[in-house]
Amino acid sequence: MVWNRKIAYINLSTRKVVQKPVPKTMRQLYLGGRGIDMYLLFNHVKPKTDALNPQNVLIIGVGLLGGIPCLGAGRCDIAAKSPLTGAVGDSNVGGFFGPELRFAGFDYLVIAGKSKKPAYIWVQDGEVEVRDAAHLWGKDSIETQTAIRQDHGDEDIKCLVIGIAGENLVRFANVRTGMKNSGGRTGMGCVMGSKNLKGVTARGTMNLEFAKPEKLLDYCKEMNDMIIGTRWAKAQSRWGTMIIFSNTNTTGLIRTKNFQLNLLEDGQDLEPENIDRYSIGTAGCYGCVVHCRHRYVLKDGPYAPLFAEGPEYTSLGAFGTMVDCKKMETVLVANHMVNKYGLDTLETGGLIAWAMELYDKGIINDKTTGGLKLDWGNEEALFELIRQIAMREGFGNVLANGFRDAIAKIGRDSAYYAIQVKGMSNLHSDERPTPSFALGIATSTRGSDHLRSRPAVDMYGLPEEFLQELYGGPVSSDYTSYDGKSRMIWWQELLYAVTDSIGTCKFQTVFCAVHAPKWNEFSKLIQLATGMKFSKAQLMQIGERIYTVERMFNLREGFTRKDDNLPERYFKEPTPIGLPIAKGKKIDREKFEAMLDEYYALHGWNKNGVPTKKTLAKLGLNKEPTHII
Amino acid sequence: MQKILFIDPEKCTGCRICETACSMHHEKVCNPARARIHVAKWEAAGLYIPVVCLHCETPICETVCPVRAIKRDEKTGAVVIDYNLCVGCRLCVLYCPFAGAGIDALTGKILKCDLCDGDPVCVRFCDSKALQYVKATRANMIKMRKAAEKFSELMQKLLTP
């Protein structure tokens, strides 16, 4: 059962490891994964701790349902105070590491201190050890995993590692597992690097027991049929998340040339179908029937031979539309480069696109860039700048601390051109025609990001009676409307908080498919797996608790309502092109503020975005931090 | 006509649902280490190959078993172990060239696929159809069509200037 999975507290300074059980009350209040991670983060990181100080704590948590054969239930959540934003650092990763950690007996690793020398953490069947990693330091994220497997002669060891970017403390370095899976956002790889921690490995053969194993197995099959029965999942299993590109680029919802245009003309080569030229088949994460990533090969050209996995929709923006590169091959090469270096795709692409616009506008020049010609679509400059960021060389070093630091260094009106919120780059989506999406990136607790709340459902123009039933209140079916969209965001935030906590994949709940498993299905899965009973209302309250703890963390670090904002350009510059529905759109400041008020009220927070005493009491958070674990 | 377990590694996406489902069905716990099927992976090359008992026509395990504990189930076509007779000598594990038999690290018992009494749970869960339980004629046709596809690719290459 999940009850015998433990927390290991690892102090890298002293190499001391203490194992403790996860109290049942924690499960009832926060489930697992991101939920318990956030509780631990709030309790273990003292206010205003520098993110690169050894006292910052890195937490690796497995979802409550981690290991079951459905809905991609192998996800793992990595948290720490973010060195990029100073807010909640949190990154959710698929692949196979989460379940392996669980089979090795642990649901949580809480890593504090700093190792004197490069180290990695070895976890196997109930034992945790800190080992020397001198021989791994300097290796890229894939070489590192290969080396660890070769050292132990075991191909089935699963690793969470950093690449060279993490070693070099690039503030948006990510944590990597497998060929492609990445705990991408908020710089968790940088925190690992700051602790001299090259990786964590897991190998486990311990039983994971369930309350009703036979019924659970049948229900898992039902869940898989349910998700793969949706058209969205079918399309995704064929082309991956890239499938979104066809729709958004045609409509005019993709930022191009940083933020100058909202669709890429002549972008045909980036259409998802073109992956077929390179794909040798798709691959799935643990327990997933959707298998949304491609295994691809470059056979010819200057970058061949190359084998890699991906690319995501995100990569099409990061190394395609945003930097005005129009070739699939450029995306494929850059995608693999950032994966090897261990850099967040989105942040890297977002920063380079911004630099290109600054170069275009003459705010920076050849002198600033050290001779790099940052012209739109310059593929070689793109690859070189990625390398420089990872190695902290030349102009790359100016970008390697993220937007805030780069804005301070470059000055002039560079801040105006930065498409970021709370210091983190936005996805390559253009939210000006879609107020719901815009509110979501503004309120996200980890900085501009789509994975905290993206209400893709808004794009479908579903009947309002249906939306009312789904969201529990009136929501406009027009995606350019502001009406009811705060409710939509609030609801999705709670759903995704719970999804990240049970450890299933967001693509297998109400993300793009309305008829995907959600509250009631989650409730039944939890009951069959653990015996714990939660109603839909109770699960929503858990989501609320998790989101409120994240909010409390950010408030403690000095974030306020002012930070729940959008880049100025969203309010000033209307979208220049696109279909009539998306063209000429910008965000109305007054309506945006009104949405924000409604959104706070739905969460039970006051006008400043601070949880009210009543809300805290209702959620049982009025006594936090309690350090009860 | 007898059905056979047909494996198509090219379709395997490496999700390991087969391993999990197998262990939950047979052992009532989730533990891929105790599953009768395993996806051997070469991650850095993108190769995923399901490894499981092939239920040979002339099973080597049956030949080497000193206590004649291994027999064919006529109903399902599965080569199965009679655990009342099995002494756990592991000769089947040693001699099977396809790693069709393994050892349960927890109980010491031999782990071998029994085709779940004619409804293999791994097949039921394998959405990408890398694992199928089909009549032999059907399996042949699947292979033939695949081979023909390769010919057609070749023909296209020859015919395209």
Confidence of residue A320 (pLDDT cuts 50, 70, 90): very high
Question: Do residues A126 and A254 both lie within one domain?
Answer: no
- Vertex B77, ends B74 and B83: CA angle to 5°? 80
Q: Which CATH number fits domain B3-135: 1.10.287.3510, 3.40.50.1580, 3.30.70.20, 3.40.190.10?
A: 3.30.70.20
- A276-295 mean pLDDT: 95
**Contact B46/A at CB under 8 A:** yes
Beta bridge partners of A9: A18, A110
Alpha carbon of residue B124 to chain centroid: 13
- Residue closest to B131 by CA, chosen among B7, B4, B16: B7
Give the burial string for A404-416 (b: 16+ CB within 10 Å, else e).
Answer: bebbeebeeebbe
Nearest CA in chain B to A103: B31
Show Cβ contacts of residue A101 under 8 Å, excluding neighbours closer than 6 positions: A60, A62, A76, A107, A109, A123, A158, A202, A204
**Contact A626/B at CB under 8 A:** no
Q: pLDDT tens digits for A349-359?
A: 999 999 999 99
For residue A567, is the peptide bond before it cis, meaning its omega torsion is within 30 degrees of 0? no
Given an 8 Å threshold on Cβ–Cβ distance, is B21 in contact with A103?
A: no
Q: Which of A213, A217, A283 sits opposite B14 (nearest CB)?
A: A283
Residue A420 in domain: no
Q: Are A505 and A72 in contact (CB under 8 A)?
A: yes
Would you say how long chain B is, in residues? Answer: 161
Beta bridge partners of A296: A279, A308
Kindly give the residue spans of alpha helices, DSSP state H, lying in A411-535. Answer: 414-417, 435-443, 464-471, 485-502, 519-530
Q: pLDDT tens digits for A406-421?
A: 999 999 999 999 999 9
Nearest CA in chain A to B32: A205
**Contact A309/B at CB under 8 A:** yes
The beta-carbon contacts of B85-90 under 8 Å, at least 24 apart in sequence, are B86/B110
- Cα four-point dihedral sign A280, A281, A283, A287: negative
d(Cα A508, Cα A515) in Å, to the nearest integer? 10
Q: What's the number of domains chain A is made of?
A: 3
Question: Do residues A498 and A546 both lie within one domain?
Answer: yes
Show Cβ contacts of residue A56 under 8 Å, excluding neighbours closer than 6 positions: A45, A49, A50, A80, A81, A191, A194
Partners of residue A1 in chain B, C-beta under 8 Å: none
d(Cα A166, Cα B76) in Å, to the nearest integer? 54
Q: pLDDT tens digits for A371-392?
A: 999 999 999 999 999 999 999 9
- What is the enclosing helix (H) or strand (E) of A216? helix A213-228
**The CATH number of the domain where A474 resides is what?**
1.10.599.10
- Cα four-point dihedral sign B19, B20, B25, B31: positive
**DSSP label at residue A610:** P
| Domain ranges within chain B, ordered by starting residue | 3-135
> What pLDDT is recorded for position A16?
96
d(Cα A109, Cα A188) in Å, to the nearest integer? 14
C-alpha distances (whole Å) from B86 to each of A127, A232, B61 are 34, 49, 12
Half-sphere exposure of A483 (CA within 13 A, CB side): 10
Half-sphere exposure of A484 (CA within 13 A, CB side): 17
Sheet harboring A127-132: ordered strands across?
A127-132, A119-124, A197-203, A158-161, A175-177, A181-183
Question: Do residues A396 and A457 both lie within one domain?
Answer: no
**DSSP label at residue A107:** E
SS3 call for A114: coil
C-alpha distances (whole Å) from A287 to each of A184, A378, A529, B120, B131 are 21, 40, 15, 17, 15
Q: Which of B27, B125, B128 sits opposite A221 (nearest CB)?
A: B125
Question: Do residues A142 and A263 both lie within one domain?
Answer: no
Please give the structure tokens belonging to residue A225: 């049929």
- Residue closest to A312 by CA, chosen among A287, A277, A349, A280: A349
Amino acid identity for residue A228 in this structure: I
Given an 8 Å threshold on Cβ–Cβ distance, is A307 in contact with B13?
A: no
Given an 8 Å threshold on Cβ–Cβ distance, is A69 in contact with B11?
A: no
Confidence of residue A317 (pLDDT cuts 50, 70, 90): very high
Given an 8 Å threshold on Cβ–Cβ distance, is B28 in contact with A213?
A: yes
For residue A311, is the peptide bond before it cis, meaning its omega torsion is within 30 degrees of 0? yes
B144: left (phi over 0), alpha (psi -120 to 50) or beta: alpha
CB neighbourhood size of A603 (10 A): 22
Partners of residue A105 in chain B, C-beta under 8 Å: none
Q: pLDDT tens digits for A542-594?
A: 999 999 999 999 999 999 999 999 999 999 999 999 999 999 999 999 999 99
> What pLDDT is recorded for position B159?
78
Residue A304 in domain: yes
Question: Do residues A250 and A285 both lie within one domain?
Answer: yes
Residue A401 in domain: yes
Alpha carbon of residue A13 to chain centroid: 29
Taking all residues of chain A, what is their mean pLDDT, rounded to a whole number?
A: 96
- Cα four-point dihedral sign A554, A560, A566, A567: negative
Amino acid identity for residue A445 in this structure: T
- Residue closest to A451 by CA, chosen among A508, A509, A493: A493
- Residue closest to B24 by CA, chosen among A219, A76, A508, A534: A219
Please give the structure tokens belonging to residue A85: 């934003």
Partners of residue A97 in chain B, C-beta under 8 Å: none
**DSSP label at residue A320:** I
Nearest CA in chain B to A156: B41
Q: Are B128 and A290 in contact (CB under 8 A)?
A: no
Residue A223 in domain: no
Question: Do residues A266 and A163 both lie within one domain?
Answer: no
Amino acid identity for residue A522 in this structure: F
| Nearest chain A CA: its distance from B99 CA (Å) | 16
> What pLDDT is recorded for position B143?
85
Question: Do residues A159 and A280 both lie within one domain?
Answer: no
Partners of residue B44 in chain A, C-beta under 8 Å: 142, 145-146, 179, 307
| Backbone dihedral angles phi then psi of residue A232, each to the nearest 5 degrees | -60, -50
Please give the structure tokens belonging to residue B133: 């339980």
Partners of residue A154 in chain B, C-beta under 8 Å: none
**Contact A525/B at CB under 8 A:** no
Nearest CA in chain B to A212: B28
Question: Do residues A118 and A247 both lie within one domain?
Answer: no
Q: Which of B21, B41, B43 sits opposite A69 (nearest CB)?
A: B21
Residues 84-123 of A with CB under 8 A from B: 96, 103
CB neighbourhood size of A537 (10 A): 8
**Contact A221/B at CB under 8 A:** yes
B117: left (phi over 0), alpha (psi -120 to 50) or beta: left
Residue A230 in domain: no
**HEC letters along A281-309:** EEECCCCCCCCCEEEEEECCCCCCCEEEE
Question: Do residues A281 and A161 both lie within one domain?
Answer: no
> What pLDDT is recorded for position B161?
66
- Give strand ranges (E) for B3-144: 3-7, 29-30, 38-42, 47-51, 70-72, 79-81, 101-103, 110-112, 131-135
Q: pLDDT tens digits for A492-513?
A: 999 999 999 999 999 999 998 9
Please give the structure tokens belonging to residue A228: 């793969």
Sheet harboring A306-310: ordered strands across?
A279-283, A293-298, A306-310
Question: Do residues A16 and A151 both lie within one domain?
Answer: yes
Partners of residue B48 in chain A, C-beta under 8 Å: 283
**The CATH number of the domain where A291 resides is what?**
1.10.569.10
Last residue of a domain, one of A155, A182, A203: A203
Question: Do residues A264 and A372 both lie within one domain?
Answer: yes
- Residue closest to A545 by CA, chosen among A488, A620, A495: A620
Question: Do residues A362 and A470 both lie within one domain?
Answer: no
Q: Tell me the residue range of the domain where A458 lies.
A: 435-619
Residue A233 in domain: no
Q: Which of B10, B17, B29 sits opposite A69 (nearest CB)?
A: B17
**Torsion, Cα of A414, A416, A421, A427 (10° steps):** -80
Given an 8 Å threshold on Cβ–Cβ distance, is B46 in contact with A280?
A: yes
Pick out chain B residues at pLDDT < 70.
Answer: 1, 161
B102: left (phi over 0), alpha (psi -120 to 50) or beta: beta
**DSSP label at residue A227:** H
Last residue of a domain, one of A141, A173, A203: A203
C-alpha distances (whole Å) from A536 to each of A278, A517, A522, A542, B118 are 44, 12, 9, 10, 38
Given an 8 Å threshold on Cβ–Cβ distance, is B43 in contact with A281?
A: no
Please give the structure tokens belonging to residue A242: 């890239």
Q: Which of B10, B13, B20 sits opposite A284 (nearest CB)?
A: B13
Residue A332 in domain: yes
Confidence of residue A234 (pLDDT cuts 50, 70, 90): very high
